[in-house]
Chain A
């Protein structure tokens, strides 16, 4: 079973708008990560947030983590057409050696 579940499954916005994707997970974690995948390509790591962190920034990305609700959100500000991709959250489920991915959010940014 998937550890992480993303919401929404698909998101379509205009360039310049912000995009918010949410992830919920089931068990305790050491960290939560977000990855990006362009169509048919390999996944690329975006950001990692540890279980004792609440918010993290990287460029136009902002990630929050609420361990009490077992949820995380990824905000992409001032989106660009090049941000069009699928975004996945991944958790280690406090198991080590095993990173479990959610089903992903498909983001489409229209120019």
Chain B
């Protein structure tokens, strides 16, 4: 158990809908990272937050947004969903920022868009 909690574990929804994925980092970790894993794209970095502030952005679509709250949990919002958004979405946490050390991953949220 990594100590990172993601909910929901599975989510099935329709095209055009909006979903929110939630992540609770390990106790004491200030950094939260979001990744998308799909068969064709592999593991893609989406965004990194540190202590509530956005620190790095990757291949995150404009339809997607994220935030980190004062209690350090994070949410990834996916809107106007398309079939191609079906993927495993991982959250990871680490204690600090800057030079990236070990990340602790949650078990992921599997999103299926029908």
Q: Are B99 and A40 in contact (CB under 8 A)?
A: no
In angstroms, Cα B42 to Cα A101, docked, is 8
B window 13-40: CB within 8 A of A: 31, 33, 35
Q: Is A20 engaged at the interface, CB distance under 8 Å to the other chain?
A: no
In angstroms, Cα B56 to Cα A109, docked, is 37
For the complex formed, measure the closest distance between the CB of B114 and the CB atoms of chain A, giving whole angstroms: 19
Q: Is A98 engaged at the interface, CB distance under 8 Å to the other chain?
A: yes
Interface residue SS majority, chain A:
loop
Q: Which of B62-70, B71-79, B101-109 contacts A (4 or more CB under 8 A)?
A: B101-109
Q: Are B97 and A31 in contact (CB under 8 A)?
A: no
Q: Which of A43-51, A58-66, A68-76 contacts B (4 or more CB under 8 A)?
A: A43-51
Contact with B along A93-111 (1 / 0, CB 8 A): 0011111111110000000
A residues near B8, Cβ cutoff 8 Å:
none
Q: Are A92 and B90 in contact (CB under 8 A)?
A: no
Q: Are B104 and A96 in contact (CB under 8 A)?
A: no
Q: Are A97 and B50 in contact (CB under 8 A)?
A: yes
Partner of B104, one of A2, A45, A102: A45
Q: Are B45 and A48 in contact (CB under 8 A)?
A: no
B residues near A102, Cβ cutoff 8 Å:
42
Q: Is A30 engaged at the interface, CB distance under 8 Å to the other chain?
A: yes
Q: Is A25 engaged at the interface, CB distance under 8 Å to the other chain?
A: no
Partner of B105, one of A40, A43, A97: A43
Q: Are A100 and B107 in contact (CB under 8 A)?
A: no
Q: Are B56 and A98 in contact (CB under 8 A)?
A: yes
In angstroms, Cα B55 to Cα A95, docked, is 11
Q: Are B100 and A98 in contact (CB under 8 A)?
A: yes
A residues near B101, Cβ cutoff 8 Å:
31, 48
Q: Are B48 and A42 in contact (CB under 8 A)?
A: no
Partner of B107, one of A41, A48, A92, A104: A41
Show 8 residue pairs from A and B whose CB-CB distance is below 8 angstroms, ordered by the A residue. Answer: A31-B101, A44-B2, A48-B101, A48-B102, A97-B31, A97-B97, A98-B58, A104-B42
9 A-B pairs with the lowest CB-CB distances in the bound complex, closest first: A42-B105, A97-B56, A101-B43, A92-B100, A98-B56, A97-B55, A43-B105, A45-B102, A42-B107
